[in-house]
Amino acid sequence: MPATESAKKRQRQGEKRKLRNRVYRSRARTHIKQAANLMDQGKLEEAAQTAQLAVSALDRAAQKGVLHRHNAARRKSRLMQRLREAQEEPAQ
């Protein structure tokens, strides 16, 4: 338990921030998972649209400080690489 008033306040602020940040993190994860599921099902047009939503959600999370910008960039890169590979696969 925090002993000082300032430590108690920091704890309260941390709880508020955790709840606020969870929204952005969850939204990004949800879009990424949806895009991955659509790619697995072969619905590439819908997957591309969902991937764009995921990219937007990751950018927003990075902007808000929920994710580090390099972390968001890495996730976007991996998602788009997977989408690219899924689009090339049927052509071969």
pLDDT tens across 72-84, in order? Answer: 999 999 999 999 9
* DSSP secondary structure letter of residue 90: T
Q: Please give the CATH number for the structural domain made up of 18-88.
A: 1.20.58.110
Nearest CA-CA partner of 61 in 50, 48, 76: 76
pLDDT classification of 1: cutoffs 50, 70, 90:
confident
Mean pLDDT of the chain: 95
Radius of gyration of the chain (CA): 18
Q: Tell me the domain boundaries of the chain.
A: 18-88
* Predicted model pTM: 0.86
Q: What would the two tokens of residue 6 be?
A: 């300032």
